């Protein structure tokens, strides 16, 4: 399945954080979402191969993600703010077929 680490991250406001996602090996699309309590996941960005196909959900320029070799992806948040506290979810899918997306366990970020 999709793996993510760390599973939990507590950081102080203003610090930078980095999250990693390992997709299902044969999946060529990778997605990042974030979820706050009581809400459905909110799209951030997705990659097809190495390139970001849609980054329209990134909330501001403190957020950026890369997938340099078309497999593992990292999501980085600079100068974290309290409103960044959320669960960051990674998902992957095949382009072919119905684009069924499978989620990893998520990384819970708490900004104090």
Partner 1 sequence: QKEVEQNSGPLSVPEGAIASLNCTYSDRGSQSFFWYRQYSGKSPELIMSIYSNGDKEDGRFTAQLNKASQYVSLLIRDSQPSDSATYLCAPYNQGGKLIFGQGTELSVKP
Site for partner 1, rule CB under 8 A: 29, 31, 33, 38-43, 46, 48, 53-54, 57, 87, 89, 98-106
Q: For residues 12 and 39, which CB has a smaller minimum distance to partner 1 in the complex?
A: 39
Question: What is the rounded distance in angstroms from the CA atom of residue 52 to the CA atom of residue 56?
Answer: 10
Cβ distance to partner 1 smaller for residue 75 or 89: 89
Residues contacting 70, CB < 8 A, separation 6+: 28, 47, 49, 50
Residue 32 CA to residue 21 CA, distance in Å, equals 9
Min dist. Cβ of residue 72 to partner 1 (A): 18
Nearer to partner 1 among residue 23 and residue 41 (C-beta): 41
């Amino acid at each position: 399945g999709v793996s993510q680490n760390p599973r939990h991250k507590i950081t102080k406001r203003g610090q930078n954080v980095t999250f990693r996602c390992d997709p299902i090996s044969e999946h060529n699309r990778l997605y990042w979402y974030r979820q706050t309590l009581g809400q459905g996941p909110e799209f951030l960005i997705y990659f097809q191969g190495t390139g970001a196909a849609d980054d329209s959900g990134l909330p501001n320029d403190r957020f950026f993600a890369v997938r340099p070799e078309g497999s593992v992806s990292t999501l980085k948040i600079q100068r974290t703010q309290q409103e960044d506290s959320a669960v960051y979810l990674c998902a992957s899918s095949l382009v072919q077929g119905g684009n069924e997306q499978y989620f990893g366990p998520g990384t819970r970020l708490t900004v104090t």
